[in-house]
Amino acid sequence: MIDTKTLTIEKAGEMLRKGKISSRDLVSACLRNIEERNGELNIFLEVFDDALEQADRADKMLKERKGEKLTGIPIAVKDNILIEGRVVSSASKILDNYRASYDAYAIKKLKKAGAVLIGRTNMDEFAMGASTENSAYGPTRNPYDSTRVPGGSSGGSAAAVAAGMALGALGSDTGGSVRQPGSFCGVVGMKPTYGAVSRSGLTAMSSSLDVIGPLAKNSQDAEIIFDCIRGKDPLDGTSIDLPPASPAGKRVGIPRDFLKEGVDKEVLANFEESVEKLKKAGYTIKDISLPYSKYSLAVYYIIMPAEVSTNLSRLDGARYGERREGNTVFEMFEKSRSAGFGAETRRRIMLGTYVLSHGYYDAYYTKAWKVRRAIMDEYRKVFEEVDFALTPTAPSTAFKFGERSDPLQMYLSDIFTVSANLAGLPSISLPSGFSSSGLPFGLLFSAAPLRDFSLFGIEKDLSKN
């Protein structure tokens, strides 16, 4: 019996290439876990009916010695990443039963590597949320405690890895949507440098912030997925090729002003314990100042809704998805969008439309972009002094369903993660132990742009102490 809850991609890949297990065996083990717990946890919106056929093709590649690191490895895919011929709804009724006409760039790379795409995972509608409570198809539950959220918006992908339903997963990160659920589910979640992974085939939420990132059991596995899906794509003008990996430094900066209010005591205690482990592992710890970063959340919740309102304006019921008839075209638009979009999506569209409207564009949107530039500049200066910036991933462990019903309370879940998106930084959440109630903690490391590979060695250093 293969234990997919503990088996890593690295170890499984080695076993596959040596013929000790087959991809069919591995995928079957994941499918058994899905069958046993998906009804309770609501992680997968769809399990692909050709998963075992994909596994058989991978086994053939392995027998012909054409296998790569991800050949035969079952990977879960967030429901906003396009797979040709498959439904991609972004967990929204307005795209119910919409089928993708092409593969996302990241999916092309996974298919070429021989990975097995096992199914599409639940998420907050159009990636708007920090709990996966906003899905039109019901919330996902945390595998550690089903009364609590898995985080969001990539909650289904994080929970799939934690529950052994896949060995790795793809999510998307706009303000922390890979890293925060990674923390809540006790797995590694990595947000690459903006542009390091093509956005081609990712359903757009906020185009200047969105990036596809991996979720996995450990940093080595996350690196394997990231190394596969990264690269410059002619279909995405913002995509880039990363420079070769260079030696990682060991200077860690901590913005102490960030940690004064609103952080759970157990989270802070775990954070300080982790800092001591870093010291023992030879890291130099230094306090840093990020005065503009205290405005990150405010800036994010101006720029992101503005881009949301623009990107989602194309979803009006006229061409695909939910459609309600009306006496006029505009009435049809209104009825279709009201029925197709959930409450949080409507809230952000209205907020974004407001900040872009005449008389408010300069007062809000233009000013937010000026502060965003200041945040980028201060990080650039900080990374001349240190190699990593360190905070907890989230101000709390996984909270109970309904506990953050106030939108402002929910938005505060992103307090530590949004600045990396605003500044385009690579950032990783690493598991750092458990609370007294058995819930995972996460540590958040961010590095200078293009220094993505420097993030993957930290976990190994931490595990030595």
Q: Quick check: is 427 catalytic? A: no
Among residues 177, 274, 446, 454, the one annotated as catalytic is: 177
Sign of CA dihedral 86, 87, 90, 95: positive
Among residues 22, 23, 69, 78, the one annotated as catalytic is: 78
Amino acid (1-letter code) at residue 213: G
Phi-psi region of 135 (alpha: psi -120 to 50; beta: other; left: phi over 0): beta
Q: Is 291 exposed, middle or buried (0-12, 13-18, 19+ CB in 10 A)?
A: exposed
In contact, 180 and 417? CB cutoff 8 Å = yes
Q: Quick check: is 435 catalytic? A: no
Q: Is 74 exposed, middle or buried (0-12, 13-18, 19+ CB in 10 A)?
A: buried
Could you tell me which residues are beta bridge partners of residue 411?
none
Among residues 23, 135, 153, 198, the one annotated as catalytic is: 153
Alpha-carbon distance 451 to 171, whole Å?
20
Q: Is 332 exposed, middle or buried (0-12, 13-18, 19+ CB in 10 A)?
A: middle
Q: Quick check: is 78 catalytic? A: yes
Alpha-carbon distance 210 to 199, whole Å?
7
Annotated catalytic residues are 78, 153, 177
